[in-house]
């Protein structure tokens, strides 16, 4: 039955992006911003506990990073009692959802994909107002959410079939996969749709239930996806949606005896903390908790002397300064062979200086970083970097007139030593470090000189060099002759090595294995 339905599914195709160069498409996106402002700005949104809207004793503001004077909406500051209610509700829902028909789960996801296609511009606009992505960046993420629904529908059916085993003459033996229990999803602000949705779909596709805790900067982008799943037919208790402070919904959820697994994306510091705390068995806990964690990166682009320098320069600028560098996959280091270092640097500088900093709602190429605090932290790197490296362009705040936000100039440093914080530390902003390599092998060595191992790019026309890069570059996602951002669900399974995390590859064929346990049943004839 499962195999028949899988055979009947159309071949997967990635959701195409909107062409904003078409005036009609651009006008439709502007209309979506007007509609979102009329429908959502000024509203206060609830928690969702057992599918019912619930208020907390107080609320918090969500501000527009493009101009922090604007409060766009409010969300609940949930309590410890509501946290317990959420976990208990997820545990109750698990009693039945764990036995749900995989066909039901897949059908819900496919229906959700249809619903989201019809509302993509609305979701784009909400995301832009929450985290300051421009149109193309927001649309890329929402299209990825559509892809997630389609991919996880197919993965649900695939994993429901179990695996074949070597037969026995006197026994019927099966190997099947069963869900774990309650999964806590803790997600970041930079991808408030695709990242928590991927983690949540991994959980519920396998028959688990979810406590979904979005970043406080971007809760509406998450809530709309939960409501979309409900509209598509997901039983309302399967996802408990909570918002509030970290002291209520951080460590206490990780430590909770009834939580079976934590799925986290965020900083190395918090991910490491979760990993450590989850290892402790709490009183009344009857399992070892599972953790998946994606914890950032320090993406390197290696450029060999035989590379197409124009293609490399274009990919570098796109990957370094798209969404103001606030991607764990962003290119933050360029390591170029000495023979082409200066020529490449000049090309990248010229392209960077063509970028304009402006309002995301107006689809500016580069917008603000998420917080004033983030901007101040990044400015510290820029100030210290000028003592240890050569400033090529940028290096200061960008003038945005009356708009109040973390607007920074796209910045390039050259001649950066490999020991420098500019080379080693995840800055999470529009800052790019250039480092000179003696040759292409030295460049590969330098690319691996990092505790992170998420994404890297390698530019060369030489098949032998490419083969060596494939073997020796220590990252979870390696891109040859293309930029190191823009992973597509279902094609570029995404997850890193080292301190980039646990290498759970979202959007890939093995991802659901993290959310299941394996049962072997042998029945004698």
Pair 254, 174: CB distance under 8 Å: no
Task: Say whether 268 sits in a helix, a strand or coil.
Answer: helix
Alpha carbons 516 and 514: distance in angstroms, whole number: 6
Give the other-Cβ count within 10 Å of 62's Cβ: 22
Q: Per 3-state DSSP, what percentage of the chain is helix, strand, and coil (rounded to 5)?
A: 40, 20, 35
Burial of 474 (0-12, 13-18, 19+ CB in 10 A): middle
CA-to-CA dists, residue 360 to 124, 352, 370, 373, angstroms: 11, 18, 12, 19
Task: Say whether 150 sits in a helix, a strand or coil.
Answer: helix
Alpha carbons 259 and 84: distance in angstroms, whole number: 11
Residue 519, φ and ψ in degrees, nearest 5: -120, 130
Of the listed 122, 130, 217, 294, which one is catalytic? 294
> Roughly how many angstroms between the first and final C-alpha of the chain, as a whole number?
25
Q: Which two tokens stand for residue 512?
A: 């659901």
Q: Which two tokens stand for residue 37?
A: 């402002």
Of the listed 304, 328, 331, 484, which one is catalytic? 328
The DSSP string of 323-336 is GGG--TT-EEEEEE
DSSP secondary-structure letter at 190? S
Pair 258, 289: CB distance under 8 Å: no
Q: Is residue 294 flagged as an active site residue?
A: yes
Q: Is residue 484 flagged as an active site residue?
A: no
Alpha carbons 333 and 199: distance in angstroms, whole number: 28
Q: Which two tokens stand for residue 419?
A: 């020991």
- 49: Cα separation from own chain's centroid: 25
Residues with catalytic function: 294, 328
């Amino acid at each position: 039955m499962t195999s028949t339905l899988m055979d009947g599914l159309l071949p997967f195709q990635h959701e195409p992006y909107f062409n904003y160069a078409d005036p009609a498409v651009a006008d439709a996106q502007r209309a979506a911003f007007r509609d979102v402002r009329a429908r959502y700005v000024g509203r206060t949104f609830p928690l969702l506990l057992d599918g019912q809207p619930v208020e907390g004793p107080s609320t918090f503001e969500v501000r527009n990073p493009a101009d922090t004077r604007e409060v766009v909406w409010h969300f609940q500051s949930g309590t410890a009692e509501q946290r317990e209610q959420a976990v208990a509700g997820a545990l109750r829902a698990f009693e039945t959802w764990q036995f749900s028909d995989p066909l039901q789960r897949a059908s819900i996801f496919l229906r959700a994909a249809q619903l989201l296609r019809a509302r993509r511009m609305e979701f784009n606009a909400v995301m832009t107002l929450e985290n300051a992505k421009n149109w193309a960046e927001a649309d890329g993420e929402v299209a990825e959410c559509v892809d997630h629904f389609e991919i996880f529908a197919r993965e649900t059916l695939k994993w429901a079939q179990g695996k074949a085993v070597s037969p026995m003459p006197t026994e019927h033996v099966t190997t099947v996969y069963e869900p774990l229990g309650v999964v806590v999803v803790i997600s970041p602000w930079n991808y408030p749709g695709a990242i928590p949705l991927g983690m949540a779909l991994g959980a519920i596709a396998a028959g688990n239930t979810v406590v979904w805790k979005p970043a406080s900067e971007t809760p509406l982008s998450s809530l709309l996806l939960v409501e979309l799943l409900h509209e598509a037919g997901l039983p309302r208790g399967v996802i408990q949606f909570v918002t509030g402070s970290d002291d209520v919904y951080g460590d206490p959820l990780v430590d909770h005896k009834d939580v079976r697994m934590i799925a986290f994306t965020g900083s190395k510091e918090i991910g490491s903390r979760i990993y450590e705390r989850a290892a402790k068995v709490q009183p009344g806990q009857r399992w070892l908790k599972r953790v998946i964690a994606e914890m950032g990166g320090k993406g390197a682009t290696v450029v060999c002397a035989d590379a197409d320098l124009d293609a490399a320069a274009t990919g570098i600028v796109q990957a370094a300064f798209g969404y103001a560098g606030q991607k764990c996959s962003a290119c933050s280091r360029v390591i170029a062979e000495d023979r082409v270092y200066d020529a490449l640097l000049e090309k990248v500088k010229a392209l960077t200086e063509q970028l304009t900093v402006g309002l995301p709602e107006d689809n500016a190429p580069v917008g603000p970083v998420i917080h004033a605090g983030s901007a101040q932290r990044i400015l510290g790197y820029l100030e210290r970097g000028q003592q240890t490296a050569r400033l090529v362009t940028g290096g200061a705040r960008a003038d945005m007139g009356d708009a109040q936000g973390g607007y920074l100039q796209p910045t390039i440093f050259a001649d950066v030593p490999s020991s420098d914080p500019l080379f080693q530390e995840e800055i999470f902003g529009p800052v790019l470090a250039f480092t000179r390599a003696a040759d292409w092998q030295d460049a590969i060595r330098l690319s691996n000189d990092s505790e992170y191992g998420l994404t890297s790019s390698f530019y060369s026309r030489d098949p032998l060099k490419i083969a060596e890069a494939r073997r020796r570059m220590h990252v979870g996602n390696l891109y040859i002759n293309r930029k190191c951002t823009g992973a597509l669900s279902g094609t570029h399974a995404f997850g890193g090595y080292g301190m980039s995390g646990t290498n759970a590859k979202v959007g890939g064929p093995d991802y659901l294995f993290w959310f299941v346990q394996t049962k072997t049943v042998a029945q004698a004839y």
